[in-house]
Structure 1
Amino acid sequence: MDRRHSDASASLPRHPSNASLSLSSGSQRKERGAIAAQACDTCRSRKQKCDEQRPKCGTCQKFNLECNYREPQPTKKDKTLVEILDRIKSLEGKIDTLSIHSPLVASRLASTPTGVAAFNQLHPSLPPTSPGILTPLGAAPTLLLSDAPETVPSLRGDGQYGYVSSVYQMLAWPVVRQLLESTQSKLCLDPPAFVQDSPALCLGLLDRSQRLPVDTTGSDAQGSSLGIPINPPGTISLGISDLTWDAMQQLSKSYFDTFNLLYPILDRQSFQSETMALVFNNGFDEEMASTLALLVFALGEVAIAGTRGIPVHVFNGRPSGVKGGTASRPPGLTLFNEARRRMGFNLADCSLENVQIFALASLYYGSCCRHLEFWRMTTSASLACQALITRSVHLELGFPLTGLEKFEPIVGLPDFSGPFNRDDYLGNESSHFQEHFASQIVLRRLLVDFHNTLSQASSSPSALASTALPLTAFSDSPPRDPLSHATIQQLALQLEQWHGMLPAALKWPEDNPSAFPSTASEAYDPGSGVGHVPSHLMFSTDLDAPPAVYPYVLDLQAALLRARYYHVKYLIHRPFLYKALHHPDVVTHEDAVGVATCLRSALRWPVALSPACARKRLMPCLFFWTQNLLGVLIVLRLSERVPLLRRVRATLCGERFEIEARETVGLCIDWVRDLRDVDAAAAWAWGIVKGLYGLED
């Protein structure tokens, strides 16, 4: 595809600092060699340089000629991306045909050992296991689920396979409730009330002092510094009066090289040549251009401070992954307050800019760990987008859907077929943000389909009716449970196909989430002497060493894609864990293999590894990762204390599981501890983690 090369000086306002934007002649020739100019037909026929202005270039304006631009032809790389996206999208259709009533093959399971007897038969060298016992490590069995009716709810209302989507719901599992109650003295809270009030505590509904300050003076705010060499990022906040042309360029570049590669919300060329030039020449007023610009500049501050700023605290000599500002005054706050002062003037507009404003505001709230505000802005962006599409007037947080998902067939997947700004072209060559973004969209759609399938099967009347019989009745003939092993395996196969169809630059060995992609690429090389990471690994479990430095936000893109994959795989197989915890007498060997897959999928998610965890302010949906890492800590703790799970760990999880499980526990604890001072959700999670693992503040 011909890529439009933007001549920045032609579209920027006249300003002395523009001279600093020019590239050296050598680097300019190199870049132009890689990016073909998108000249109009007139300039192309005259074989002269085109300034690429729209709707008419300078030559056509001068001679009053018709100015036409050809549609850019896709390159081999773009054709490959479209083909990959088409193949990945075909997986969605397969989900629709998946029957949620697929029973286990009776002939296959009739001869399969079940329950505790299966483990004692398959692994006679290990000590025999008793069913349903929850014991502390190194202690004799003392608690039996069946002997604790006062503290453990009845299991008869639950299907053998229980599926829940959120950690909050998992906290209501009988065995998890029992685990919390066993640490009640350390939690200093009543477990039932603790679980019931957890969403309100996490979202700050019970303490509205968590709101961001509204002043715009910046007198005691902390953020990023630009143009003040003696002050490192994270010490002085910028106000409108500080927004020189150089500062605007630096802030906008920081935003587009980070946040916009993770979530392509704005067009860089349009923003820099039109929006930014407009506000610089005319000043900041109440129009949407000013609001958009201020939000971009605020997020640019977050990007700079979140990468190079002063850590908010240091624990045992290790700097926090939350950098810049404080819990109450995050970086970019002064500029963000100026933006939200103007947002009220455009609340009811039905325009693309309106959608972008809400989406950018949600990103800022997310970087500040204001999760309720993040959800409200995301919902507003979705409703504004719906209004834009129709021209008429959930999953992680459990909030209502906006209805935008109904228009998914109309919107389709992004194909990135339009012309590129030069910086975005170079950014995509280095980080493959197009493929990352599109692949995460498909993975998210698969997760929603999986969630619907598992939820419907788990709540099916036939699944509940099967529990009306004594558990012993299932030992020889397993029930026809609609949420069966076959159903889960079909979902797992869909996920494996998604992984297998990833572009080579994104694909990694499934058994090693820290490895480099399958194809060697200079973009993934952090360079000699820059940061620390083992030569054969992209991510490191050593959080004390200086983090490796990759171009743009490549580390975050790769970490998010991989961690979401393992999170989906973990969720798909978690019903096996529920069955092993609550119905151990009817656990088959296949169920045990499913438990092992669930446990292995919970290990070493790259978002918790270095260098990704060192830039938490730039990571989208911190709430999502905090809650799910808490769930991992609970599951791994249960796997230490429930004998049946201990035997699964010892026999089916592989020889490196114990080492990697200990690493994962340390990484997850560090994640929660690092965020607890700036995030109410992490502070709530820390209360549970501290009790489960006997930690001190």
Structure 2
Amino acid sequence: MDVIEGQQTRPGAASRRQALNACDACRRRKTKCDEDRPSCGRCGRLGLECSYVDTVAYKKNLSVAALADTLKRMDERLEHLTELVEKGQQQPQQPEVCLQQDAIPHVAATPATYTLPRHPGLTPRATLADEIFGASPRFLDTGRVREELSLTQKHCVAPQHLLTWTCSPLTLTESQLLYPMELETKRPSLSRFTAPPRGLMQYISDPGWVSHLALNHIDFLAGYYFAHYHPSCLVLSETTFYNHHLNRTLRGTLPDDVDTCIVLLVCALGSIAAYHDGHEEWGQAEELDVGLGLFNAAREKFFNVETADWPSVQCLLLMGMFYSAKLRIYDAWHVTHRACSTILILAPLQTMLAAHQCQLFWIAYLQESQLLAEFDLPPSGLGKLANSIPLPLVPNAATDPRLAQYQFFFLALIAIRKLLNRVLLYLYSRDQSDDSHSVSSPSADTPAIFLSASHSMIAELDRQLEEWRACLPSSLHFDQYSPSEERAPPGPHQPRPTEERLRGFLKARYFAAKSIIYRPFIYRALHATHAMLLSDEEKAGARAAVGAAFMNAVSSGLLHEPLTLLFHPINVWRSFFALAIQVSLVSNSEAAAFALPNDWRLVETMRQRGATVGSLMSPTVARDDEILRILS
């Protein structure tokens, strides 16, 4: 117990100090703590290192270390549940280590009251207390690491695998189900033309036209970059960009160095946002080529200056953002993979990582994870370092509420990504020890996977998802999913301000996770002969699976912004594709018709908004749209 109060002292008994806050060792053992800082009596007797984690008021003063501890506890809870399920105990008892309400850290609006823990090395040694009492799992993304160790271990929640369900009117062969990878790897290379945008066409005959970019041009485009892309992906420091990268670039003609590459990449991304905000002078002859001239100019220079250093990692990550905006999946993976590989070289060579280097690690981790979640691309192995890299903390977040909000948004993305990886691992991934799975297709065991999903595991994963939502700061907070509030906002749908976009991104991740967690129930509903054969729990789960998928599409911004401006646009489209397939299957099923979302007819509007341009930018989107037309 963390707080002991209101206890009466027995007559004649010596008074002793009661624990206002249990030390970490006593907290893990769930024993009372005779607190006597700096070392409690128990730790003093055993010669243990005694450390304290200050309890905090609701939604105040969350440290990065506390967030890491919560994720560790989640991992331990799931490992314990998995062992019980494997033993056939569908109703597990309370595990020895669990999340207590008073132990849940809450996110503050000003995180800078805590400093980033110093990074002692990449292979931290367990403490004596951990060796004696058994340490909780380290900050390790078990779900992703196991996937990286075995490429044959695939999950079956990819949207096209919904078509393998026996209720699907459209049947694809095993080779046809691989169409996303085949289409993306066989598409033509991105054009290497370096023509200037419309506003600079007077310099079209000059191969070095980028040197004619005036300071006001760069400042204008950089403003759009930092307003639109920067809040969700802190690759650069705004202060460092203006004081260092831009300052060095403006000393004369644009030199062939990394600073110039960074400036040009920022301008390329900024021109995409500016063009879609009505500034057509930053467009190219073809609408799909917006920003391409600036990007190719940066790419040519980077080819000559790339080295194994952190500025090169920044360039590669910015390139990955540009390719993602253009829905160039293979190209995005290629440069992200290079960034991850460079980090794998740099990190072990440093005794201590700076805060911005930790930030780059986690950005690369998230960008690669988003691609691996949708496409069967080879991983870099970066996830195996997640155990050793501290969570990032942006400098100056204490004095800038804007940076504090961006920081918590990024930390929330890391946590939800890890939770999604655990969902795939514990509900849908195969047992690596089973050799028969190594050659079979992801769809071969679909009925067994969906029908055998443990109700207790589903409940625990959903509980952890709700805990993640409850820990969000007030500026990013949103209400729990409820079928009664499952509606799209009324039109007209205008572009959203930054804070609303960030909240929408997190809501989309929340609803995507909930939909995948409850997908086994919609499978059961679609394959039931009558709704009366389903339990109330199964009906509620099926309703949540489709309803949350619908709210994911609504929250992602598909109705508000062009697909190319969305956060991880290919993931937004593929999540919508999964929703559209489920709505099609449910609308044609008498037994599962109860699971249709309230505004399900809006799905067609979303399809048109996403596919109109998306099908021109990506063959995967074009093929997905073709499938939806066949199903309609």
Aligned residue in 2 for 1:192: 173
> Which residue of structure 1 lines up, in the alignment, with residue 592 of structure 2?
645
On the 8 A contact 1:164/1:455 being kept in 2, the answer is: yes
- Give the direction of change, closer, same or farther, for the CA distance of 1:305–1:88 in structure 2 (3 Å limit): farther
Question: Separation in 2 of the partners of 1:458 and 1:572?
Answer: 19
Partner of 1:95: 78
Q: Are 1:574 and 2:519 matched, yes or no?
A: yes
Pair 426,434 (structure 1): closer, same or farther in 2 beyond 3 Å: same
Q: 2:396 aligned to 405, 419, 434, which one?
A: 419
Query: What are the superposed Cα offsets for residues 203-238 of structure 1, whole Å, 9 maximum, x if unpaired?
Result: 1x3331xx32212133xx56xx5999xxxxxxxx99
Mapped pair 1:686 → 2:620: no
- Tell me the equivalent position of 2:144: none
Q: Secondary structure at the match of 2:478?
A: coil
Give the counterpart letter for 1:670 in structure 2: R
Could you tell me which residue of structure 1 aligns to residue 245 of structure 2? 275
Supply the AA of the counterpart residue of 2:416. Answer: L
Kept in 1: contact 2:584–2:631 (CA 8 A): yes
- 1:406 match: 384
Return the alpha-carbon distance in structure 1 between the equivalents of residues 274 and 557 of structure 2. Answer: 18
- The structure with the largest alpha-carbon Rg is 1
User: What secondary structure is seen at the aligned counterpart in 1 of 2:474?
Assistant: coil
Distance 1:549 1:456 in 2: 37
Contact 1:513 1:605 in 2 (8 A): no
Further displaced range: 480-489 or 330-339:
480-489
Q: Deviations over 1:609-666 (max 9, x none)?
A: 76863243322321111112111111111111122212x43xxxxxxx5532223443
TM-score of the pair, normalised by structure 1: 0.61
Is residue 540 of structure 1 aligned with residue 479 of structure 2?
A: no
Contact 2:161 2:177 in 1 (8 A): no
The residue aligned with 1:14 is none
- SS, match of residue 277 in structure 2: helix
> Which residue is equivalent to 2:217?
247
Q: Return the offset for 1:563.
A: 0.7
Partner of 1:561: 506
Q: Is the 8 A contact 1:298 1:333 kept in 2?
A: yes
For 1:81 and 1:607, the matched residues in 2 are separated by 32
Partner of 1:85: 67
**1:434 correspondence with 2:407:** yes
Is the contact made by 1:212 and 1:329 (CA closer than 8 Å) also made in structure 2? no
Judge conservation of contact 1:251–1:296 (CA < 8 Å) in 2: yes
Alignment match, 2:45 = none
Q: Equivalent residue for 1:153?
A: none
Residue 325 of structure 1 and its aligned partner are, at CA, apart by 4.9
Q: 2:580 aligns with which of 623, 626, 633?
A: 633
5 Å-filtered alignment, 1:17-96, equals 79-80=61-62, 82=64, 85-86=67-68, 88-89=70-71, 90-96=73-79
Aligned position for 1:365: 323
Cα deviations by residue, 1:67-95 (Å, 9 ceiling, x for unpaired) = xxxxxxxxx99834648735653434433
* Aligned counterpart, 2:140: none
The answer to whether the Cα contact below 8 Å between 1:260 and 1:266 also exists between their aligned partners in 2 is yes
Following TM superposition, by how much is the alpha carbon of 1:280 offset from its aligned partner in structure 2, in angstroms? 0.8
CA 1:251–1:285 in structure 2 vs 1: closer, same or farther (change >3 Å)? same
Mark the CA change 1:420 to 1:592 in structure 2 (over 3 Å): closer, same or farther: closer
Q: Hey, what does 1:672 align to over in structure 2? A: 611
Q: Trace 1:32-181 onto structure 2 (pairs within 5 A).
A: 79-80=61-62, 82=64, 85-86=67-68, 88-89=70-71, 90-99=73-82, 102=85, 164-176=156-168, 179-181=169-171
Structure 2 gap ranges (5+): 1-57, 93-153, 351-371, 438-447
Superimposed CA distance per residue, residues 576-611 of structure 1 (whole angstroms, 9 cap, x where no aligned partner) = 223344576985543333222212212232556768
Aligned residues: 475
Give the distance between the partners of 1:78 and 1:270, measured in 2 at CA.
Answer: 29
Kept in 1: contact 2:521–2:539 (CA 8 A): yes
* Aligned: 1:495 with 2:450: no
Other-structure match for 2:298: 339
Moved more, 167-176 or 273-282: 167-176
CA distance in structure 2 between the partners assigned to 1:612 and 1:86 by the alignment: 35
2:187 aligned with 1:207: yes
Q: Structure 1 residues 333, 548: closer, same or farther in 2, change over 3 A?
A: closer
8 Å CA contact 1:608, 1:667 repeated in 2: no
Structure 1 gap ranges (5+)? 1-75, 109-161, 182-190, 229-236, 312-322, 465-477, 516-536, 650-656
Question: Could you tell me the percent identity over the aligned residues?
Answer: 20
Query: Post-superposition shift, 1:570?
Result: 0.6
Name the Cα RMSD after superposition: 4.0
Q: What is the alpha-carbon distance in structure 1 between the residues aligned to residue 434 and residue 335 of structure 2? A: 38
Amino acid aligned to 1:344: F
Q: Under a length normalisation based on structure 2, what TM-score does the superposition of the two structures give?
A: 0.66
Q: Which has the higher contact order (CA 8 A, sep 6+)?
A: 1
Matched residue type, 1:636: V
Deviations 1:468-493 (A, max 9, x none): xxxxxxxxxx9998632122111111
Give the conservation status (yes or no) of the 8 Å contact 2:495–2:561: no
